[in-house]
Every structure is written in C-alpha cells, then in structure tokens.
Chains A and B, each alone.
Chain A
Amino acid sequence: AQKVTQAQTEISVVEKEDVTLDCVYETRDTTYYLFWYKQPPSGELVFLIRRNSFDEQNEISGRYSWNFQKSTSSFNFTITASQVVDSAVYFCALSEANAGGTSYGKLTFGQGTILTVHP
C-alpha cells in the first residue's frame, strides 16, 4: 500500500525567507511518480512539479527546487525567497506506475502542509 507523510502541519515564515516542505513516502513498487501540488485559498489544486523514481536528478525551476532521495524515501520541496502569494496548502502525492513507466493514475496524497508567508 502507498503512503505519503507530511510531518509539518503548519509553517510560518516571513517574506524572503527560504522554506523547505518535507515529504516522506512508502511504496512497494520500484517505479513510481512523485508530485507536489499547491492549494491556495481559492481551493483549486495547482500542479507544481513531477519526478520519476528512476531519475534522482534534483532540479531548480525559478524559486522552486526539490530534493529527491530514494535512499530515505524523501521528496522535499523548497521555495526560495518566499512571497506572500506562496501562502497556501502544499500537498505531496505519489502515483505508482506499471512496467512501461506509465502512471496507474491514482494519486495518494499526504495530509498537506499549511504555509503562511507574512509580509
């Protein structure tokens, strides 16, 4: 069975601080996908990033970066120089994949981390 744990329930930072959101996952599959979604106060989930289990290269995209470590089953997400508009609930999610690498589709979400960025 899949499980995603986001141990941080709430984080509060001041604008321009860097913030890292933690995510730990459990799966028995060797091929899977990991995602981060943002849910602002308006309620609509917004896709941020996707990572394949067979690609551990960490990347930076603008103010976002992520650190995927298979050895510790972690997929942490960092926002650099946070802004008030980053205030939202952030969800980490896991999707298992078949042998061809195509996602089975079902996302298992963590409980979410509420990020508040103060001006």
Chain B
Amino acid sequence: DTGVSQNPRHKITKRGQNVTFRCDPISEHNRLYWYRQTLGQGPEFLTYFQNEAQLEKSRLLSDRFSAERPKGSFSTLEIQRTEQGDSAMYLCASSFGREGRNEQFFGPGTRLTVL
C-alpha cells in the first residue's frame, strides 16, 4: 500500500495561466476526493468521484475548475485562468467508500502559488 500521491508538490504560476494537478489514489480505493486548504483553515471539500463518476461538486468549484477521473484510477484537477485567490494547498484523498471502511486517506498535497 503506497499511499495517495500527488504531483507536483509545488506549483508557482502567473495570474491567468492554466494549471493541472494529478492525484494517484490507493489502488483498491474506489472513491477519490479533492479538497482545498488555505492557511489557518481546515480543508474544504471541492468534489468527489466514485470510480469514474463525479458524484458531487461544491459551490466552491467555479467554472474555471474542472476535475476528471477518466478510468476510475488517477484524477486530474485543472484550474483555468488562475487568480491570486486560487493560491492554496490542494489535497487529494481516497477511500473504500464502504460502511466501516470509509475513512479517507490523504496525499501530501499540491501547494499552488499564483503571482
């Protein structure tokens, strides 16, 4: 069990540029989640997938954000036309999604800085 991995770990970009992050969940987990965490705050839910289906999206996920999980394995989160307010840590988590096994395991995060 290698854990959840995220790439890149850090991303610095200029305002207006597009960025894409990748998350590789724990292999046997069917659920994958994205959260955003700003300094001094708890993580905030963005969206989640069960296999390849995107089941819920937060109102925080504006039209500039899109997430995919094309084959039910890894996922990508893209932010278009980045704004300085997008600067945050983007966290990915995965879980079994079954009763009694629903704890989420988090990756190390991707820290985004928008200049």
Measured CB to CB, the residues of A under 8 A from B are 4, 33, 35, 37, 42-47, 50, 91, 93, 95, 100-112
Contacts and interface: CB of A to CB of B under 8 A. Distances in A.
B1 to A, nearest CB: 13
Interface stretch (B13-21, B70-78, B104-112): B104-112
A44 B109 contact: yes
A37 B107 CA distance: 13
B97 A103 contact: yes
**Size class of the B contact interface (CB-based, 8 Å):** 20 to 34
A35 B103 contact: yes
Given A103-B97, A105-B56, A106-B56, A47 B45 contact: no
Kindly name the residue among A42, A104, A106, A111 whose own CB sees the greatest number of chain B CB atoms within 10 A: A106
B42 A91 contact: yes
B89 interface: yes
A109 B44 contact: yes
Interface of B: 31, 33, 35, 40-45, 48, 50, 55-56, 89, 91, 93, 95, 97-99, 102-109
B108 A44 contact: yes
A105 B46 CA distance: 12
B55 A43 contact: no
Contacts of B42: 4, 91, 93, 109-112
A46 B109 CA distance: 12
Given A47-B106, A50-B102, A107-B35, 7 more contacts: A44-B106, A44-B108, A45-B43, A46-B106, A91-B43, A103-B95, A112-B40
